[in-house]
Each structure stands twice: as C-alpha cells, then as structure tokens.
Chain A
Amino acid sequence: MEARDELSDGVLAQMSIDGDERAFAVLLRRHAGYLRAYAIRLTGSRADADDVVQAAFITAWRRLDSLNEPDRFKAWMRRIVSNRSIDLIRSRRVEDTPIDDQVPSPERDDPERRAIAGEGLQRLSAALEALPSAQREVWAMRELGGLSYEEIAAELGVTAAVVRGRLARARATLVHEVEVWR
C-alpha cells in the first residue's frame, strides 16, 4: 500500500489535475467497484458496465480541468458514468428497434445477485428489474447516482417535469412491491 492510498479524494483529485497519474490510479481503484455496480444497474449488463466505467475514467482524466470541486470527485464521476450509460442504452435501442419499455436481461443466476444480503434488498432488486426501463433509469440516477432532476433531465433530453413524474411512478411501484412482501 502506498502513501497515496491514505489521501482523501479531494487531495488525490488535485494531484491528478496536476498530472499525477499514480494519484488518479488510486481514485480509479477506490471508486471502480461502486461505479461498476451503478453502471450495471443502469445498463443491465456487467460487460457493458465495465466498458462504460473504463471509458468514463479516461474521459475524466481528459476533463480534469473542469472539475471545480475536487472534493466531489465521486459525484462528478457518477455524472460521467450516468452520461456514458445513457448513451450506450440509447445506441442499443437504435440497433434493436422497436423496443418499448425494454427490461435488460436480469442476471438472476449471477453469484453477486445471489449474494445480496437481506430480503429487503432482494425484493428491491427484483422490483427494479420489473420496472419499465424509462422509470428504472430515472430512479437509479436519482437514488443510486444522486443526480438532481435537472441533471437527469439533461441526460435524457426530457424536461424536469417528466423526470419528476417518472420518478414518482417508479417510487410508488417500488414502495408497493417492497411492502407487499414485508
């Protein structure tokens, strides 16, 4: 373990802006797991998520000068991963039209899915997979990615009012599904 492992995101991001590749490598290792899990939830595919997150980190390196709040590196990365994931989903839809409310194949036999601890989490996981994709994307970007309505609207090319409506529908369904089994 090198000394950089001990540093906060803010310090490592500053060092990265200054061109320190090893500092950036620590950020990559620190956040890869969460960002991959997030991208899997958005894209429904581990292979796609790995590609998305890899490309997102390369994009981040190129755009470090625009990182105004280095302490918020993780939030900044979530935004880039969201953007790349949505691009990928859109390109997939163009290739495979017509797809209405496409649900990504749930990788139910995936060991990591089986390893999810706790019934509540399993119920939420199943309910998410059953949601219409437009609602699931909005819910994931808001609740897993922490994006604002405006940021989600910008990613999807819709109005904030549409985001608000989809999110409410997703929440109402998920509350119902998770509660039904409680």
Chain B
Amino acid sequence: MSEERPLRDDEVDVERISAYLDSGRAPYDATIEESPEASRLMREMAHLRDLGARLIASEADALPEPSQNWFAGVLSQIALESRSGRDLPLDVGKARVITEGALRGAIRQAAGARVPGLIVERCVFEGELDASDSPVTVSLRVALVWPTAAPAATAALRRIVQDTVSEHLGRVPERVDIRVDEVHVGGRSEHSREDGA
C-alpha cells in the first residue's frame, strides 16, 4: 500500500480532524465542532489517545525489571565517561591538578554533610580558573527541602564554597551566587516531576 497516493474525500476529512485534534482544537473550527459526525470521530480519536497512555503505563508496570546487568551496563559506561570538566591547577607549590568535577564534588560533599535540607543541583565555576591570579566566580543552583530556612542554608553553603575553593585553588572566590530553584515538601517537589505526556 502506498502511503503517498492521493487522498479520497472522506480521508481528507479524517486528516483534517486528526490534525485539528493535535492543534489543541484551536483556532475553533465550526465545520468540525458543529458536525455530529466529525466531532464524534474527533472524540473517538481523543479517547484513543487516552487509551494509548493507559496501554503504555500498564505495559510498563507489567514489564519485569531488567537484570542488574542491564543497569550496570549503563552505569559502568557513564562512570568511564565521567563528566569531570576542566583541569584546574592546585594551590601554588603542589605539583598536581584537580578537575572541576573533583572541586564540585568536594563542595557537594561538604554541603551534604554540613547543610541538611539543601541539595546542590548545579555548581559552575566562571573565570580563568587556570590563571592563578584571576578572579573566580562560583554560581550555584540549589533545591531546599521544606522546612529548611533559605537564609541560613545559603549562608552556610556560601562559607563552604569559599573555604573549599580557597583550600584547593589558593584563592577566595570573588563572588558566590546562589539561586534557590525549588523547595521540596515532604518528598514532593513544587515543580512537577512529570512533563505531561
């Protein structure tokens, strides 16, 4: 069967109704909405969409978990390709480098241990990190778990960032920007976890 043969008249209607449904039924099309036959077909197509969502959810639920090897296959590969970022020179006098990733890791670890209720999402270093006299800015995005108080938590994080950066790079960051992105209430976030489909 060829997919690209000319459409019959009744198929043109079907195609128009189908595309109208996908357009979110806007702008309003009276020839579809006010035709009993066309609007019935559109409702059937919408019902089909709901049925499809239920079908895939039910199949996902019924699917046996993949083997541990399956998960390990992904995780071992990503560990090999670690996103460690740029190499940074360590404090003067130490003949080694530290990666951005390791410095971020040190900040995360200290924040995790010392600031309960705060999760570091992103931690970005800006500036000429490999030039030992150039200013460094650290921008962080964090999420807070309710009822953690934002001012105290972010002040504690700021101190940790200043201490950790100066310990490893021998420079105090010029600026530490902290943006609170999200507050979690009892394990649920005020951001939607799903994206709708």
Contacts and interface: CB of A to CB of B under 8 A. Distances in A.
Interface of A: 3, 6-11, 14-15, 17-21, 24-25, 28-29, 32-34, 36-38, 40-41, 46, 50, 54, 57-58, 61-62, 64, 71-75, 78, 101, 111-113, 115-118, 120-121, 124-125, 132, 134, 139, 142-146, 149, 162, 164-169, 171-172, 174-175, 178-179
Contacts of B84: 19
B78 interface: yes
Interface of B: 1, 3-4, 7, 11, 14-15, 17-19, 22, 41, 44-45, 48-49, 51-66, 70-71, 73-75, 77-79, 81-85, 101, 104-105, 108, 119-123, 141, 143, 145, 181-182, 184, 187-189, 191-197
Given A6-B184, A7-B143, A61-B81, A164 B19 contact: yes
Nearest to A176: B44
Contact of A58 (B74, B141, B182): B74
Nearest to A5: B187
A34 B61 CA distance: 8
Task: With a 10 A CB-CB cut-off, give which of A14, A28, A58 has the most chain B CB atoms.
Answer: A14
A38 B57 CA distance: 9
A171 B14 contact: yes
B189 A11 contact: yes
Contacts of A17: 83, 122
Contacts of B48: 124, 143, 171, 174-175, 178
